[in-house]
Every structure is written in structure tokens, then in C-alpha cells.
Amino acid sequence: MNNAIAGFSKLSKEEKINWIAKEYFSDPATATALIKNYWNSDAKLQQLHDEFIENTITNFYLPLGIAPNFIINEKYYTIPMVTEESSVVAAAAKSAKYWSTRGGFKATVLNTEKIGQVHFIYKGDEAKLKQFFTKNKQSFIEATDSLTANMKKRGGGIIGIELRDKTDVINNYYQLHATFETRDSMGANFINSCLEQFSKTLVTKAADYELFSEEEKDIRVVMSILSNYVPNCVVRAEVSCAIEALADKNIENPAEFAEKFLLAVKIAEVEPFRAVTHNKGIMNGIDAVVVATGNDFRAVEAGIHAYASRNGQYSSLSHAKIEDGIFTFRLEVPLALGTVGGLTTLHPLVKLALEMLEKPSAEELMQIVAVAGLAQNFAALRSLTTTGIQEGHMKMHLNNILNQFNATEEERMLIKKHFENHAVSHAAVVNFIEKLRQ
């Protein structure tokens, strides 16, 4: 079978589907029907989705759930979450309800600085390059005036630009390292446009600089691109209460629970194998809200994991302490988010999610997302240090198995009753279903 095809992107949507169905599926009609079954019945809405990316054939749905009862800085929120992972939304909602009677969550944006870089090669005298940069620094800023005018009106723009010598890691390698404030937009297009103008200014100004030799004038720009590592665009989320206030039906000895919880966090601080799974749990909450609000979860993931490694070893993003009888659990993460532009103004469900959050600013959304991560982490650690994490997971897993085997309502009732007192595993459930059906 030859699966190569020329000019695929120029085919119509129907032609793309027909080719895929014929080339890859033993039953092309069934495959085609499934693909079309996920189209939106509203033709205009489907066209909107089709134009988000290239070579679209259908929609891939993920559940949109909500976690109510979040109190953040003394205000109630119902948080939208998009995820396919069992128990994530339930865990967030459980944490929200738990902390709603213990003072709620506090969140603070520590900084909102974003970063972009022009990476270039310069073969010459470093002192002359520094002199050139100092002389032309203002020209770099002024050359972007047409690009920054609207952002400046909103209180954003270019914060600063500096020359960085990186020749210790790559021969003749330097950077223009720029910082930006993008207000309520994530700002990727804005930042990249400014950086490309910086690179043009760099090349043209260098070619005319009288102190450079001909070789020094030949500056080679490698690339101009924003960074998704934003260690100065950081938000803190926190919960705290008296140790005795931690008590509930699963926490009969709050002092013992608090000490065990602290130890679990310390293990994640010093043991990378645990830290990765610990932080993945945090990202369960963060990613779900980032996706629901139309932001770039890949950029957020990359930046946060880099931040977790900033001290030379991958470590926990969250931290806990007990001081003077007060239990405190906190999280600090870098989050470059936007509430205007991109999908936030195009995707109907993203607009719905942002309206559900009462149309937050980018800083407010940073706080909400960080709180979702902390809530998720608290729920996971609470389960791990009390009942164990599998209890909740396996309840959801049981539902997935029942759906897989198209269990009837009567079968569901009998199976769930049986597994109230028996351990859930795929094999055990399948065996029980087979016995029922015999």
C-alpha cells in the first residue's frame, strides 16, 4: 500500500476524508460515518472550527466540566475545566468545598514580565559590540513604535532590552534579551513582531556602523522568538488554617495528618522521581483551566517545568509549613496567559468559560489557574496520605469499563454493588460481567 500523497492540503475536506478512509481503514464507510458524526450541525460553527488548524477532517471532543465553590481572595468562582482524566474535576471541587469553610484560597500576582530574544552571531571585538549597542539601544525601541502604539495605550509595551554575551557556551553567540508587558493578551504575536523588527534594526545599523570592520558588520541573525520560560511572570496561590481546623471525616487526627502532609511535600522537594508525578498532579488542574480558557497549555507546561528545575534539580512546585500551630500550603508558578485575542475571541466555549469566570483580566486568570493547580495538588496529597489515591480513581475506572462493555442499567447496579466490597481491577470487572451474562 502506498500511503504517500502529493497536494493533500489542496484537497477539499470531503476528498481528504475519502482518501484517509480508503487508505487506512478496512471499512471505509464506517470510518467516514464516524468522522462526520463529530461534525457540528451548525455549518458556520463547523467552518470556524475547521479554520483553527490545517487539514481539518472533524472535531475531537473533550469534556468540559465545572468545579464550583472556589473562594479566591474572598470571591466565589465556578471554574471551567477541560480534561479527559478521571477524577480531576471531582478532586478540584472537593478541595474547593473543603477550603471554602477554612478561609478559602489567597492568590497574588508577583510579576507579569514576559521575555523575547534575538539570537545572533557576531565575529568581532566584544567591546565594540557593546559600544554599538549602547549607542543604538534607543533606536531599537523607536523602530517598533508602530507595533507598540496600541499596546502602550493599554499600559503595556517594551520594558527593556539588553545585550547578552553567550560566547562562553557557543562561539560568537550573543542575544538581544528583551522584556515585555502585554496586559490582558498572552502577547506572542506582539512580542515576535517586535523581535523581528529588532533583528532588522540590528542588521541595518551594524552595516552602517563606522567602527565595525567588514567582518564585524556581517552580523548573522539565527532567529527571533519569544521565550515560554517566564520566571518573572509569576503568581502565588496559598491556603492556611489552624492545624485543628484541618479535621474532617477522613482526617481524625489533624496534627498527624499535617505532619504526614508536610513530609509528602518535602519528599517531592528532594526526590525528582516523586517531584515529576507530584507536579503532574498540579498540572492536571492548571492545564484543564488553561485549555478551557483558550490558552496555550504546551507553553504553560514547558515554562512551568523549566521553573521547577531552576535551582539545578527538578523539584516540587508546591511547599508546605507549620508555624505557630498554623498549617500553610502554597504554590508559585510562572503563567503567561491572556484573556483577549486568539481563541479567546473565536471559540464559543472559550468565550463561555471566560464569561463563567466573570470576564477576568489576565492577572485574575493567573490567580484562578494557580489556585486550580494548588487545589488539585492538595486533593492528591490528602488522598495519598489518608485513604490512598486509588479509591477515587478506581470508581471512575469502573465507569469506563462499564461503558466499554455497554453495561445495562440493571448490570451497572449489580456490578457497582458488588465492587463496594471488592477491589476494582479491569480483570475482576470483566470476569464479573461475564458471569452475570452467563
Catalytic residue among 15, 42, 85, 391, which? 85
Q: Is 426 a catalytic residue?
A: no
The residue written with cell numbers 496555550 in the block is 296
> Which residues, at least 6 apart from 223, have a Cβ–Cβ distance to it below 8 Å?
118, 119
Q: Is 260 a catalytic residue?
A: no
Q: Is 85 a catalytic residue?
A: yes
> Which residues, at least 6 apart from 38, have a Cβ–Cβ distance to it below 8 Å?
58, 59, 60, 61
Report the amino acid identity of residue 78.
Answer: T
Q: Is 296 a catalytic residue?
A: yes
What is residue 323's three-state secondary structure?
A: strand
Helix and strand numbers, DSSP H then E, in the chain: 16, 10
Cell numbers at 177, concatenated: 534579551
In whole angstroms, give the CA distance from residue 392 to residue 166.
50
In whole angstroms, give the CA distance from residue 122 to residue 164.
12
In whole angstroms, give the CA distance from residue 415 to residue 409.
10
Catalytic residue among 106, 393, 395, 416, which? 393
Q: Are strands 220-227 and 157-165 parallel, antiparallel or unpaired?
A: unpaired
Catalytic residue among 184, 196, 287, 296, which? 296
Q: Work out whether the CA dihedral 54, 58, 60, 66 comes out positive or negative.
A: positive
Q: Which of 307, 305, 306, 330 is nearest to 319 (CA)?
A: 330
In whole angstroms, give the CA distance from residue 6 to residue 77.
50
What is residue 399's three-state secondary structure?
A: helix
Please, are residues 241 and 326 in contact by the beta-carbon 8 Å criterion?
yes
Report the amino acid identity of residue 180.
Answer: F
Cα angle: 32, vertex 44, 298; to 5 degrees: 75
Using CB atoms within 10 A of its CB, is residue 237 exposed (0-12), middle (13-18) or buried (19+)? Answer: buried
Catalytic residue among 280, 305, 319, 416, which? 280
Q: What are the catalytic residues?
A: 85, 280, 296, 393
